[in-house]
Amino acid sequence: MHDTGKRRRFEVLARPELDALFRTARRMTGDAGLAQDLVQDTCLKAYRAFSPDDEPRQVRPWLFRILINGVIDHARHRGREALVTRNAELISAFQVDLELHSRPDRALASRETGRAIEAALAALPIDLRAVAILVLVEEASYADTATALAITDDLVRSRLSRARDLLRQRLVEHDDRVAPQAVQHLNRGLE
Amino acid sequence: MTMQATDTTACDKLRMVIGAFVDGEADEVDANDVRTHLRTCASCRALAHELSAINQSLSALSEERAPEHLWPGIAARLEQADVTKPARRVRPSWRMAATACAILIAAFAIVVSMLPSRDVVQASVEDFITYRAKGWTVDSTAHDGRTVTEWAQARVPFAVPVVRDRIGVFEVGGVRLCWLLERRLLGVTYATGDDRAVLYIMEAGGLSLPQPNRVLGGNRQVAVEQHKGHGVAVWTENDLVFVLVAAEAVFDRILELAAQSMPRHARLAVQYPG
C-alpha cells in the first residue's frame, strides 16, 4: 500500500513533466532513443530519492537537474565535441517529429526557419544549450533553471545572453531563406 | 535611472536586462528602465524584437510529445524497484485490532524517533539490493583505483578521495553514479569471486548520520549496523561520508580488511602529479 501510494504520488508529480523531459533530452543528445533511456533513468533515480511529502513546486527543477546531469555525464563519456557536431548534423536533416513541420498550412519559409532554429540550438555548446532549452523552449523560470542546472541566477542570465548571441548569429546566416518569416516577427509589437 | 538613446554604454548595460525583460524575468525597476530606454533607442528596440522573435520560435518547439509507450515503461521500472524491497509489516486482518494497531504505531513512532537516524543506512542498503537485482551493472568498469578516481572526479561536485585498487582480496571492479538522499554520490564496487561490496562516497552536508560505535584502523570512528540482512559501516572524513555495504555473510570479512586499508583523503593532483 505504501509503495503504491508513493508511486501514485510520484506519477501525479512526474508524469506531467514527461514531454518536457523527453524534448529536452532529445535536443540535448540528438537521439530520440537515447533520450527515452535518459528520461527513464531520470525517473527511476528520482523515484528512489522521492518522498510523497516532497514540495510539488520543487519536483520539476529537481527532475530536470537529474536529467541534465545524466545528459552531461553521457556527453563527457562519449566526447563533448563529437556530440555537438553530431547534433548539428542530425538536426540539420531532422524535422520529421516536429508537428510544426507537419502542418500543411505552414509556408516553406516557416519550415526552413524551424529547421534553422533547431540546427542553431543543437550547435550551441552544451552548457548554453541546456539554459536555452529550459528557458526558451520549456519556458522555465530563471530560478527553476538555476536549480535544475545547479548554477546561480546570474550564471543563467549570462549563459542565456551568450546563447542568444550565438543563436542570432546562426539565424542571420539563414536570413535570405527565412526573410519572410523574420520580417513578420520583426513587425510584431513587444506587448 | 535615465538612459540616453544614443548612449552606447547604457545600451551595453541594458543588453542583458533586455533579455530578462523579454523573458518576463526583469524586476520592476529594471523593467521600467528598459521601457524608458526602448522608447528612444531604435537599436535596442530592434534587439528586443529579435529576442522576442527567437522566444516565439523556440517556444513553438515545445509542441513535441514524448512517445506514448514511455510512461508505461517507466511505471513498470518503478514497480520493479518497489518489488526488490522486502515486504514490510503485515497488517492485522480483524477490526478489533484497529485500536491496538493505532497504539502500536504510536509507540513505534516514539521509539523510532529516539533511535539514531538510519537514513544513510537505509538508503544505501536499499540501493545495494536494487543494484544487485540489476545484475551489478556499473557506469564505468575499471580495475584500478586511479581510473575510477579520475572518472569519478569529472562527474561529482566534491573532491574524490583516492580509490584503492583493492580492499584486501576484494578488487575494485567499477563505479556507479548514484542519486540518493537528494545528492549525487559514487558507488565503488569491490568483488572477490561471487562476493561483492559497495563503498558509497558522498558529501555529508544535511545528512543525519548514525552514532559511531566501533573504532577501526586504530583511530577511525565507525558506525556499524545491520539492516535487511546486510552489514553497513558508516564513517566520515573531512566533508565526506563513506558507507560500506555488503551482505551479512561477507560483511565482517571485508570490514576487517577495510580497517587495515582505510582510503586516505587526498586530492588526485597530489596523489598522481602531472
Give yes or no for B93 touching A (CB within 8 A). no
Is B37's pLDDT higher than 60?
A: yes
B80 chain-A contacts, CB cut-off 8 A: none
Average pLDDT, integer, range B10-38: 89
Residues of chain A with pLDDT under 70: 1-2, 78-113, 174-191
> Is A48 close to B59, i.e. CB distance below 8 A?
no
pLDDT number for residue B105: 56
Is B218's pLDDT higher than 80?
A: no
pLDDT number for residue A159: 94
pLDDT in tens, A70-92: 988 887 776 654 445 444 444 44
Dihedral of the CA atoms A179, A180, A182, A188 (nearest 10)?
A: 150
Neighbours of A149 (CB within 10 A): 22
**CATH number at A2-186:** 1.20.140.160
Q: How many CB pairs below 8 Å do chains A and B form together?
A: 149
Q: Tally the C-alpha atoms within 13 A of residue A138's C-alpha that lie toward its C-beta.
A: 29
What whole-number percentage of chain B has pLDDT above 70?
Answer: 79
Quick check: A47 and B78 in contact, CB under 8 A?
yes
B59 chain-A contacts, CB cut-off 8 A: 136-137, 139
Distance from A128 to chain B by nearest Cα, in Å? 14
pLDDT number for residue A53: 76
Nearest to A44 among B77, B140, B154 (CB): B77
* Residue with the three cell numbers 516565439: B56
Distance from B18 to chain A by nearest Cα, in Å? 10
pLDDT in tens, B131-145: 888 788 888 888 888
- Asked if the ipTM is above 0.90, the reply is no
> Is A40 close to B71, i.e. CB distance below 8 A?
no
> Is B48 close to A190, i.e. CB distance below 8 A?
yes
Give me B253's grid cell: 570479512
A 88-147 near B (Cβ less than 8 A): 97-100, 113-114, 117-118, 121, 132, 135-139, 141-142
Q: Which residue of A has its CA nearest to B78?
A: A44
Query: CA angle, corner B137, sides to B203 and A127, nearest 5?
Result: 55
Ordered by start, the domain boundaries in chain A are: 2-186
> Is B20 close to A142, i.e. CB distance below 8 A?
yes
pLDDT number for residue B7: 58
Q: What is the mean pLDDT of chain B?
A: 79
Nearest to B59 among A137, A171, A186 (CB): A137
Average pLDDT, integer, range B206-226: 85
pLDDT number for residue B104: 58
Q: d(Cα A109, Cα B126) in Å, to the nearest integer?
A: 54
- The contacts of residue A126 (CB under 8 Å, 6+ apart) are A28, A71, A72, A75, A80, A83, A84
pLDDT in tens, B55-109: 888 888 888 889 999 999 999 988 888 876 555 554 555 555 655 555 555 555 4
pLDDT in tens, A100-117: 344 444 445 566 667 788
B 125-144 near A (Cβ less than 8 A): 126-127, 130, 139-140
Residue A41 parent element (H or E):
helix A32-49
> Is B64 close to A48, i.e. CB distance below 8 A?
no
Nearest to A168 among B20, B50, B130 (CB): B50
Give me B47's grid cell: 534587439
Number of H helices, E strands in chain A: 11, 0
Nearest to B49 among A47, A167, A186 (CB): A186
Residue A20: exposure state from Cβ atoms within 10 A (0-12, 13-18, ≥19):
buried
pLDDT number for residue B115: 46
Complete DSSP assignment for chain B: ----TT-HHHHHHHHHHHHHHHHT---HHHHHHHHHHHHH-HHHHHHHHHHHHHHHHHHGGGG----TTHHHHHHHHHHHHHHTSPP-PPPPSSTTHHHHHHHHHHHHHHHHHHSPP-HHHHHHHHHHHHHHHTTS--SEE-SSHHHHHHHHHTTSSSPPPPPPSEETTEEEEEEEEEEETTEEEEEEEEEETTEEEEEEEEE-TT--PPPP-EEETTTEEEEEEEETTEEEEEEEETTEEEEEEEEHHHHHHHHHHHHHTPPP---HHHHS--
A186 chain-B contacts, CB cut-off 8 A: 46, 49-50, 53
> Is B61 close to A114, i.e. CB distance below 8 A?
yes
Q: Tally the C-alpha atoms within 13 A of residue B47's C-alpha that lie toward its C-beta.
A: 21
Give me A4's grid cell: 503504491
pLDDT in tens, B186-209: 999 999 888 899 999 998 888 888
Quick check: B227 and B122 in contact, CB under 8 A?
yes
List the domains of chain B with CATH numbers.
Answer: 8-62 (no CATH), 78-113 (no CATH), 116-271 (3.40.1000)
pLDDT number for residue A99: 37
Nearest to B23 among A135, A150, A158 (CB): A135
Give yes or no for B25 touching A (CB within 8 A). yes
Of A129, A128, A98, whose CA–CA distance to A113 is shortest?
Answer: A98
Distance from A44 to chain B by nearest Cα, in Å? 6
Q: Which residue of B has its CA nearest to A144?
A: B25
pLDDT number for residue A156: 93
> Is A18 close to B71, i.e. CB distance below 8 A?
yes
Please name the amino acid found at residue A175: D
Name the DSSP class of A136: I
Give me B168's grid cell: 584486501
